[in-house]
Amino acid sequence: MKAAVLIQRWYRRYMARLEMRRRYTWNIFQSIEYAGEQDQLQLSSFFSFMLDNYTHLNGNGPDLISQLLDPVVDPWIDRDTCYNLITVPESYNGPRLSFPLSVSDTNALLSAFKEQQTLHARYVLQLLYETKKLLKQMPNIIHLSTSYTKEITICGDLHGRLDDLLLIFYKNGLPSADTPYVFNGDFVDRGKKSVEVVVLLFAYFLLYPDYMHLNRGNHEDHIMNLRYGFTKEVMQKYKTHGREILQLCQDVFSFLPVATVIDGKILIVHGGISDQTDLDFLSSIERHKVKSALRFPRHSLEQLDIGHSSRQTRMRSTDSSLPSSCGSHSRNQRTPNQRKRRCGLSRQERPPSISSSSSSSSSSSSSLCSPRTPSSLSPRPCPSSPSMPYTISVLQVPFLDSFSSVPLPSPPQHEREWKQIVDILWSDPKMQEGCSPNTFRGGGCYFGPDITQRLLLQHGLQLLIRSHECKQDGYELCHDGKVITIFSASNYYEEGSNRGAYIKLGKELVPRFYQYQVSRTTRKPTLTQRVRVAEGSAFRALKEKLFAHRSELMTGFQQYDQNNTGSVSVSEWAQVLESVLRLDLPWRTLRQHLTHLAPDGSVEYRSCFEDMGPGIPLPQVTPNLAETLFRYRTDIEIIFNIIDKDHSGLISIEEFRHTWRLFSAHLGVNIDDRAIDDLARSIDFNKDGSIDFTEFLEAFRVVHKLDKDQQLNVKLDGEKFS
């Protein structure tokens, strides 16, 4: 009996440690994901700001930015017969579609995609064109009834995971009159099969428009697609007609409905709601005008008078608070003692001076990350304690290392419409009362149980179903069961990291959950194996973050290490990491995986970076510039993709200079033109006046030394046996 008790006690401790590892791994993944989204929103805000407020940036700025934010659609695409001008060669052995589509066409698509075949560009364009025509006839909010069918299936984010979509169809049945579906946005990005996913969804939508329903997600957005993979995937699969496909996708995405209501009782939106969400107003807006939720309304930006001001250094210490950019709820600085708990995840709230009022506010709270300003701009002095949006005369606009004061106008009609869509696509629930800006993501808001209850009562609803957040079990309930999050992409962060799920609703409107997990192996890994794999991947990503902020971290450590001993206390080490990275992670718990302890129990902070290094060192790049490139590698790539119109991967030296001008303006830093010219010439390896940007960026990828050692060993083994 005693032995059994000891074994039971040991097992419980073992499972508790395993659960702790699983939770902090999850927090690492989610924090890094949201930090990336915030970077994207801030970059997009900068583009909007530059386009609307500057007539030139060294002669090229807005012209280049307008190619992304206000692209001119080729008139060829709007012609009814544009796709007929593309010939399908006899050698093409993929599916050949005929319109209107039939069941045999969708079956052919399923079979082809299972065999890794690619649909010809001619059929993709025609499919998109027909989808756009049908979507134009759809209202902003789709109303469904369970009286005509036994059950309705609701799926969450797929993110280009074709295997998950095929598994759903296998388990639940193909779309039909007997098996209607609602897919709740985020069909594309991140996964490698986004094209196949949207082709299948649109094909079934054309086949069964009354039984296949598609809501828009925040990734049905051409600016998000630049960062998260859909643009790159299309251009790789369709080198000749990729640009036309992307332009037509942009139109199709903007015509997707933004919400679905079942039996007048259940509201389905991708992200969530805010205290300003009005379903009647949402029904009346022209949704297709919002091509991108990341694109600030032009008129509202023109009203911002950013002029005379003075620069102010951004404080990095954890006990300093920053002015708010979004009324009384901005979280520009987090402190360890102030946390707000969201559904299933705790987040820290900042700044402390305004957190006490957050639960009582009912003002409009939707927001996007404010733009970074070129270094030539400087801010005016601002009030130290911000008040409510639309009741204050000055708005705090934060930049990389400065703040600007701008007069806050009353929102015009088109800005109200834009904010309604931003909130629907980007918001997340939280456990606290009230509505506050979702500054951890950078867009939308956090809405509490009171906001949910108010909207449900106002419109006679009983349940809100949303997606937008990855959940370990594929779904999660909060707000006393009145908000359900559903997420359908399994293994989202790493193999075994999470299950996918979908919901089935019958006439009684009681949700039933079905879980699954795609596996490429016949042998299912144990829980310990899944946690170990996910944990390893999470720490690799976190170490890359440390390496990209090395100089800032070293400066912070050395402020505590006045005697240059190379070590600081654990609390000082954790404080520096949080003040620089702002990821809201349990650094003390993670310490053993990130650094070494000295004999006296202090942290040897240089060991944080010892197992990482640059990809291909370039001697022409100074250490400070190299670290900037590591940190903003994705932003540089996005700017480059704007300039590289034909997506050839090659740009001229002059275009390379333009990339740097935009990039340096985005960061608000001055980069010497001569240094950039020297760098451009040095990486023009064949001296033909063009630069292979892919190779250039590869030099600024963080490489783990363990990977290097493994590659070296493989190479030596190969030479040994050759």
Give the active site residues.
219
Distances from the Cα of 264 to the Cα of 144, 279, 505, 519, angstroms: 8, 12, 13, 38
Phi-psi region of 116 (alpha: psi -120 to 50; beta: other; left: phi over 0): left
Pairing of strands 259-262, 141-144: parallel
- CA nearest neighbour of 466 among 324, 288, 274, 322: 274
Helix (H) or strand (E) holding 601: none
- The Cα–Cα gap between 470 and 463 comes to 20
**CA–CA distances in Å: residue 706 to residues 494, 592, 611, 613:** 19, 18, 7, 10
Distance CA(223)–CA(250), nearest Å, equals 9
Query: Phi and psi at residue 443, in whole multiples of 5°?
Result: -150, 155
Strands (E), 173-273: 181-183, 212-214, 259-262, 266-268
Residue 33, SS3 per DSSP: helix
Q: What stretch of H or E contains 7?
A: helix 2-53
What is the C-alpha separation between 375 and 396, in angstroms, rounded?
17
Give the E-state strand segments of 300-368 in sequence order.
339-342, 345-348
Q: For residues 308 and 404, what is the distance between their CA atoms, to the nearest angstrom?
A: 9
Closest residue by Cα to residue 361 from 384, 328, 336: 328
Residue pair 284/358 in contact (Cβ under 8 Å)? The answer is: no
CA angle 591, 594, 596 (to 5 degrees): 80
* Token couple for 209: 């428009």
Residue 353 sits at φ, ψ, to 5 deg, of -70, -15
For residues 326 and 391, give the distance between their C-alpha atoms in angstroms, rounded to a whole number: 12
Residues 500 and 515 sit within 8 Å (Cβ to Cβ): yes
Quote the radius of gyration of the chain (alpha carbons, Å): 26
Q: What amino acid occupies position 687?
A: K
Distance between CA atoms of residues 137 and 545, nearest Å: 46
Strand 463-466 to 483-486 pairing: parallel
Q: Residue 160 region, left (φ>0) first, then alpha (ψ -120 to 50), else beta?
A: left
Those residues with Cβ within 8 angstroms of residue 14's Cβ, 6 or more apart along the chain or in another chain: none
Residue 487 near residue 467 (C-beta atoms within 8 A): yes
Name 559's Cβ contacts closer than 8 Å, sequence gap at least 6: none
CA 448, CA 343: separation in Å to the nearest integer?
10
d(CA 505, CA 513): 9
Strand pairing of 475-478 and 483-486? antiparallel
Cβ proximity of 31 and 583 under 8 Å: yes
- The answer for 190, left when phi > 0, alpha when psi is -120 to 50, beta otherwise, is left
Give dist(CA 706, CA 714) in Å, integer: 12
End-to-end CA distance of the chain: 61
Q: Half-sphere exposure of residue 273, counting CA atoms within 13 Å on the CB side?
A: 27
